[in-house]
Structure 1
Amino acid sequence: MTPTPLTYRDAGVDIDAGNELVERIKPLVKRSFRPEVMGGLGGFGALFDLSNKYREPVLVSGTDGVGTKLKLAQQLGRHDTIGIDLVAMCVNDVLVQGAEPLFFLDYFATGKLDIDTAAAVVGGIARGCEESGCALIGGETAEMPDMYPPGEYDLAGFCVAAVEKSKLLDGSGTRDGDLLIGIASSGPHSNGYSLIRRIYERAGSPADHPLADGRRLADALMAPTRLYVKPVLELLSKHGGGADATIHGMAHITGGGLTENIIRVIPGGLGLDIDASSWTLPPVFEWLQREGAVPTEEMWRTFNCGIGFVLVVAPSDAEAVEADLARLELPSWRIGQVIPASGDSRVKIG
């Protein structure tokens, strides 16, 4: 007996749907392009011309995902902002070294391609890139039957940034007595969501629960990660880079929370004294701690607790930096200082 002819679509992969998705997202992606982008979307490789912008460029790269916040996005059917999270987790990381994000590539994988969902996700990625001045220069959409349950997808992203060698920030200029200026987060960003989802589900998934700031719980949990790139780069143009830099180091508060991230940019022999009373814990974190009975120490090492980005600044320059942060509409607080390290722990929060 002659076997029944099979096509790729019979096996669960719809090439036409993939092509339709590319056509739908092209105008969204094009809005993120920079003058250095060569060619358009759809080639085998993406091209970017660095020749006219930097004298001694150092390339800084980063890759990340959004963790199990994806599960909550899929549960709530909210796909339009998770792409912003993806971009933010990458561009905020490379920003720490004073680098300007140049271009971004994404990877979207699913069992069966839903064009509307994928377009919403990639639309968020394009918006995040546009708001960061970073070109969405390429990506990959993979339809893999049997790899993912119906309605589920996975995301990853990759960013390349550049900084003049003379202006690279590595924290080596940090000194005893430097101040920590914490910049507000927009919520949990994209970290700690395995614990968040456990608390949320145990509480009965109360999406509409009102928080003290007037937001619904679901809105607070799904608020996209704040993009720090443009305001911080403007800040660095005045206060950062080189021997005369007044910003000695920066940290993006991601997995590991306040306990484990700032110390990554602090030289050996120095530690941190963080004053937890210097800012107010946002209502979404209050709800998580209360409903989950989460110990305070666990809060510090799991969540950003309202501080998404930290500047390490010379004390004499703190007021000027804070004034510029206010002008750039970034809420900030002096949350602690650099101290000599003592004992086994280099980080004190109290």
Structure 2
Amino acid sequence: MEKDMKEIDYRKAGVDREEGYRTVSLIRESCDRTRQDGDGVLAGLGSFGSLFAMPASYKEPVLVSGTDGVGTKLELAILLDRLEGIGIDCVAMCVNDILCHGARPLFFLDYLATGKLEAETMARVVEGVSLGCIQAECALVGGETAEMPGLYRAGDFDVAGFSVGVVERKKLIDGSGVRAGDTLIALASSGPHSNGFSLIRMATADEKKDGYRREIGGKSLGELLLEPTMIYVKALRPLIEDSLLHGIAHITGGGLFENLPRTIPGGLAAEVERGLIRTPEVFAYLASLGIGDEEMFRTFNMGVGMVLVVSPGDADGICSRIEASGIDAYPIGRVVAVPDSDKGGERLWLR
């Protein structure tokens, strides 16, 4: 006796090929917008692999790569339907990392995963990725959009990215040029950036959607929390070319305590004057929800997106050049020698 056989296909399994094709069509313009004359892109979106020619001007090129995502900031962005900034965040988290070694970002690829593909939603995210790449002066050369029904809830998605940059070997920044007496310069963040959002979401759990309309300093709480991560490439590349930076720290998860010591070599420590840090009001509001002082500094950037380590005599000029690019820059401390009795302890002292 023959069994009745039901015809099945990929769409019934939850994967819509046609929506995938439509997604590629919608994001193609975003990719093309990041192209520049002579940028080295030989093949991008639509190829099996993206092709990029190394700039011929480099004598001893060192490739620097970085990958990251946006984390649970996505949950809040989806709740408040503010998706474009998420793409900028993804680019920023990658290019700011490789910038710490003096690298010029060359190209970027993104990865988006979702339970049910919605072309317009993905296009909004990739539009943000495109804007981030333009700010970072790098090309969006491709990526991947994956539809995985059953793994993600309806309406949820994740985004991650990967960037490759290049630096001349003699201009590579690895902290080896840092000396006792060097000045620490803070570059202002645009808010919490893309870190600490599991704690933020716990602290603001009672806010619900309407609560994020609460006004703080002329903006809603939701706007302040979802402000895209600052991209520092254009501000710092001229200083890197002039060999003015001894060290660069991207202040991400773990705050100053975890990230600033990564650019300070052994035998030295970063001494930061807490009273000099210009902390935005949104952090004071988060603290008022029950987050302890030490936890604040060990989780969030507290208004400092990057820290530069520079010679004391160059500090004023560097701050002026960065502020001319529209980013607040100011000294917050110095590098000090560590007494033998303190070696092996924390290499950041918050005074």
TM range (shorter): over 0.9
The SS at the match of 1:81 is helix
Structure 2 equivalent of residue 210 of structure 1: 215
Structure 2 equivalent of residue 349 of structure 1: 350
Question: 1:237 Cα deviation (Å)?
Answer: 2.3
| Aligned-residue CA RMSD (Å) | 1.2
The SS at the match of 2:246 is strand
Q: Does 1:26 align with 2:28?
A: yes
Tell me the alpha carbon deviations over residues 1-25 of structure 1, each in whole angstroms, 9 at most, x when there is no partner: 2411111111110011000110111
Distance 2:296 2:55 in 1: 45
Match of 1:311 among 308, 315, 340: 308
AA aligned to 1:341 is: V
Distance 1:81 1:175 in 2: 38
Tell me the alpha carbon deviations over residues 156-193 of structure 1, each in whole angstroms, 9 at most, x when there is no partner: 11100000011101110111111100000000000000
Q: CA, structure 1 residues 306+237, in 2 after alignment: closer, same or farther (shift >3 Å)?
A: same
User: Structure 2: which 5+ residue stretches go unaligned?
Assistant: none
User: Structure 1: which 5+ residue stretches go unaligned?
Assistant: 241-245
AA aligned to 1:346 is: R
| Structure-2-length-normalised TM-score | 0.95
Instruction: Kindly indicate whether the alpha-carbon contact (under 8 Å) linking 2:62 and 2:169 is maintained by their aligned counterparts in 1.
Output: yes
Question: 1:346 Cα deviation (Å)?
Answer: 1.9
Q: Does 1:53 align with 2:88?
A: no
Question: 1:204 Cα deviation (Å)?
Answer: 4.8
Distance 1:122 1:222 in 2: 17
Instruction: Kindly indicate whether the alpha-carbon contact (under 8 Å) linking 2:184 and 2:307 is maintained by their aligned counterparts in 1.
Output: yes
Distance 1:257 1:222 in 2: 18
Q: How many residues align?
A: 342
Match of 2:15 among 13, 16, 20: 13
Structure 2 equivalent of residue 186 of structure 1: 190
Distance 1:329 1:235 in 2: 15
Question: 1:294 Cα deviation (Å)?
Answer: 1.6
Match of 1:73 among 73, 77, 81: 77
| Structure-1-length-normalised TM-score | 0.95
Instruction: Kindly indicate whether the alpha-carbon contact (under 8 Å) linking 2:86 and 2:228 is maintained by their aligned counterparts in 1.
Output: yes
Structure 2 equivalent of residue 243 of structure 1: none
Tell me the alpha carbon deviations over residues 102-154 of structure 1, each in whole angstroms, 9 at most, x when there is no partner: 01111100010011111101111111111111111010000011010000001
Question: 1:234 Cα deviation (Å)?
Answer: 2.0
Structure 2 equivalent of residue 199 of structure 1: 203
Structure 1 equivalent of residue 150 of structure 2: 146
Q: CA, structure 1 residues 196+227, in 2 after alignment: closer, same or farther (shift >3 Å)?
A: same
AA aligned to 2:113 is: A
The SS at the match of 2:323 is helix
- The percent of aligned pairs where both chains have the same amino acid is 49
Which deviates further from its counterpart, 201-210 or 8-17?
Answer: 201-210
Question: 1:319 Cα deviation (Å)?
Answer: 1.4
